[in-house]
A and B are shown apart, each in its own frame.
Chain A
Amino acid sequence: MASEETSLGTVPARPAPWRDAKIRGIAYQVAFVAAVVGFIGFLVYNTAANIGRLNIPIGFGFLQREAAFGIGESLIDYSPADTYARAFLVGLTNTLHVAALGVVLATILGTLMGLARLSRNWLVSKLAQVYVETFRNIPLALQLFFWWGLLNKLAPGPRQAWQILPGVFVSNRGIAYPMPLANPAYRWVAAAFCVGFIATFGFRRWAKRRQAATGQQMPTGWIALGLIAGLPAVVFLAFGAPFVLEVPALKGFNFSGGDAMSPEFAALLIGLVVYTGTFISEIVRAGILAVSWGQSEAAMALGLRSAQRMRLVVLPQALRVIIPPMTSQYLSLTKNSSLAVIIGFPDLVSIANTTINRTGQAIEGITLIMAVYLVISLAISLAMNLYNRAVALVER
């Protein structure tokens, strides 16, 4: 503004310093930062004084000490003779395990329920609505207690286990379910799957470029199916199809064979999936409704088949609406997995809690949990933002 005035020939009067927006801005910021720093300093000073008075050792040295407490379940090797650091690692893997499974299952359940609510079948859409309205409006902590009470306290012993599906047994020892016996061939099948996946990606890019250049279409769908499903199948058959499904069987006082989840893990997983699924179903429903009907009509007018219409016209636009709120649901599922502590599943928070109670190192323990969750949150947001950028509307 000043330059305009000078160009008009009038000399701008410099405002007094206390009226200059720039100087005032700096003054405000200095005052604000000073207040915040002062407040934090006050807390740190008090904390230091209190710690000195209470004689609490400070620092992360306790992590190297022997933990000397047992952990119910663990994906990595752990014994009470290991260090606290190792115990934290067990908690972290347990948290990540339940969160990763939860995210996948909640997405599947939520998408199915979201589609069901849009169904033209009255009964299907009403049932989906009842599911959403019931489980969305009850606190997750209560739901976890409910599933845990059901699985741990009310379920019968292994001898009278409920068989909910053929080969799936629910008892107060958890949920036992069939699992194929491990075989070295599976590693090669998995490798073939990855190769097929990457090859499909490359092929799709090539086919798209070819279509843009020549107008000729390739049967992308069939070739992708062949690469992703066919290649592993061929490898599987080449190894002689080594498939033995091991069904859990009652042996003594518990099930052996197959695989099993503890009641705590199962309750946490079911609770998280059922609760988060309600929110995801609303997001999916809103996303699909956000694509106007005119888009579908235009696609039909162009002669696209119903599957093409969904894949090429509706879904890409719906995903743009769906992904940002979906990210926050994944984040809240991960954070909500910390409720494990109330039903005794040894997740990160639960182990940190035990550690704090045993060592008294509250500040370090809480700092550690917060840091880990912040890193997880940032990692999930980053991954989802990258994906979001890939599907976002490219504007000029």
Chain B
Amino acid sequence: MSTDTQFDLWEVFIQSKSGLPYMHAGSVHASDNKMALQNARDIYTRRGEGTSIWVMPSKYIVASNPDDNDMLFDPANDKAYRHPTFYTMPEGAKNI
């Protein structure tokens, strides 16, 4: 048996309630879109964990390289002016 017949790998994202973010739940194997959705539902929502499912073939996920972490994420750490706590408000100021 030389060919891999376990189907492609898909990543599964579940939204537990409308309004909330989609969270990565894990992966499933499937050969087409419908199967991927059904499998995701059967594997990851048996206990009412979700009201919406996204599935995506794993090969289409583009991930950042951990080697680039300092370049990607460190520069954001010294820009305190992006946070509201950076600013001093006059005493007694309301609704701001």
Q: Do A and B come from one complex?
A: no
